[in-house]
Amino acid sequence: MPPPTPAPFRPEALVGATLDGRYRLVAHIASGGMGAIFRAEHVHLRKDVALKVLRPDLTASPDLVERFRREAEIAATLEHENIVRVTDFGRSPEGWLFLAMEFLEGESLFERLRRDGPMRPEVAIPILVQVCRGLDAAHGRGVVHRDLKPENVFLVGGEYPVAKILDFGIAKLTDPGTASETQAGMVVGTPEYLSPEQAMGTVVDARADIYALGLIAWRMLVGRHPFHAPDARGLVLMQATRPVPPLGEARPELLGAWPGLAAAVARCCAKDPLERYPAAGLLGDELQAMLPAPATPWPGTPTRTGTPAAFFPRTGSTPPAATPAVPGSPEPPEVTLSLGDGPPADPARLRRRRRLASAGVVLALLMGLAIAVGAWLRARPTERAAALLAQGRAAEARALLERALVKHRGNVRLQHLLARANARLPGRVPAAVEVYAALPPALLDAEDCADLARALSQEKRVADRAGQMLARAGPTAVPAVLGAASGGAPAPARLRALDLARAMGVEARLDRVQVYGALLGDTDCEVRRAAARRLGELGNPAALPRLVELSRARREERSGIFGLAQKVPVCGAQEAAAAVERIDRVARQ
């Protein structure tokens, strides 16, 4: 007898119920594939919340329950005003699984686009900047969203709203010490916004979210998705193989008025993750710079601490305008000044005093401007430090950054620049590696990876730490690792880089016979041994001449009470002989 068909889930029937004795469901807001969203009231705190309730037929699936729990766990760790705040997770005595979130009044970006069509750049860019800020916070905690789409961006407010990122249900923790349930080859996400690496089921990092954000920006500005396919499979194939059409083809007028916008969207949508922005915060900064500075916050924008800088003037508040004269009122009479009880001042002398007073006012204004500029520069240590580094003044940049970090402890951008400054100073490379190790891997770019690759020549503890950071950086680190393996670094550093390239699966991009063969002649005994062993493992007959040469190499050694000289194999000769034998054996098979 077949099992009974479960009754359909009717969210409206739950309205009025109280879950777990705490949350009274006031209204049904929306339904989705996993459940429904309700407006609820915390009966003790008298506070509105949004309650996400899992469908009852899904609670029997351990995988889906775990996904629901993970959404709560991950989202609860992300404290940022551009990420929806999760406050509670639980199961009611009746078996309902629920997730409590802050209650937001507004609409999703998907609903806004469906109703109003394409957005003006000056409206779209502030939303994108805020999403970048939220993603930057998530990526900084090692969380990749993996399902970013217009439905998961909620807009609170009017024309210039506050944006909130929703639904971390399939987010991936990129911390290598944290297990992930996603298996290699598995495709997760929404086909319209899958990154190429998601579409192919390969390794995913924060740049997958940046690709999705590029597609979202394309849709916001054009009013439609750049790809069209009859089914999900076709969309996945297009994401994996087809370039995203240039924004200028659909909106050519943007190229003149917003020249950097099309380039930024194109970089986000690059198929190769290495060609995308390395961090969402960097994209947000670039988009922010495209906006004119408004004189006042845009309508509907909260002015609490932490609101993205896109909503505020870059140069401070606008001074109040001078009080206008009342039409028809008489001009104020000219005042003749006198000093004490004496006669009126001489007109020429009075003019000189007026000129001096005017000069004093100008001088005071200039001094005030200098003070304001100085204060502004002190408030922008990242720009000053970056300028000093560009001028090769790393010591001054380091001193500036260390002072700034006393006041802004935990500021990731200051720490990032401090790592770069230390990497350029003699004796400070170990300190640079420690600072780099504290940064989110998604923030590391090619320049940082080059610093870490140079650190492979440091003592073992520092070199091992640098190697770990390069491995975590993934594809971004590949050019630096390959360069260190084949370049002019000391032999131990080249050997470490070769080990790292092998672990990252990119060793085959090198001429291995050449790079390992060059190490056979090094003065370091352990380097020669390791190189000979690896050439034997590779089994390439092209390595035989150098291996044979090393296997036959001898050195003179004196021994015994008479100090008689004798020829003994050099260090590494034994490993080279074993490698020759192994290659010959493979060739005979």
State the greatest distance between any 2 C-alpha atoms of the chain, in Å, as a whole number: 123
| Residue 102 host element (H or E) | strand 97-102
Taking residue 206's Cβ as centre, other Cβ atoms within 10 Å add up to 27
Among candidate residues 183, 215, 171, 170, the one with its CA nearest the CA of residue 196: 215
Question: How far is the C-alpha of 9 from the C-alpha of 334, rounded, in Å?
Answer: 84
DSSP 8-state secondary structure symbol assigned to residue 23: E
Q: Which residues are the active-site residues?
A: 147
Question: How far is the C-alpha of 526 from the C-alpha of 572, rounded, in Å?
Answer: 8
Which residues are CB-contacts of 521 (< 8 A; sequence separation ≥ 6)? 528, 546, 550
Which residues are CB-contacts of 104 (< 8 A; sequence separation ≥ 6)? 50, 84, 154, 156, 164
DSSP 8-state secondary structure symbol assigned to residue 344: B
Among candidate residues 481, 460, 475, the one with its CA nearest the CA of residue 526: 460
Q: Are 537 and 575 in contact (CB under 8 A)?
A: no
Among candidate residues 117, 115, 135, 127, the one with its CA nearest the CA of residue 159: 127
Please report the beta strands in 192-270, taking only residues with DSSP state E, as ranges in sequence order. none
Handedness of CA 405, 409, 413, 418 (dihedral sign): positive
Regarding beta strands 162-165 and 153-156, do their DSSP bridges make them parallel or antiparallel, or are they unpaired? Answer: antiparallel
Question: How far is the C-alpha of 412 from the C-alpha of 409, rounded, in Å?
Answer: 9
Handedness of CA 575, 577, 581, 583 (dihedral sign): positive
How far lies 289's CA from each of 261, 282, 342, in Å? 11, 11, 61
Which residues are CB-contacts of 5 (< 8 A; sequence separation ≥ 6)? none
Q: What is the DSSP string of 418-432?
A: HHHHHHTSTT-HHHH
Distance, CA of 18 to chain centre: 41
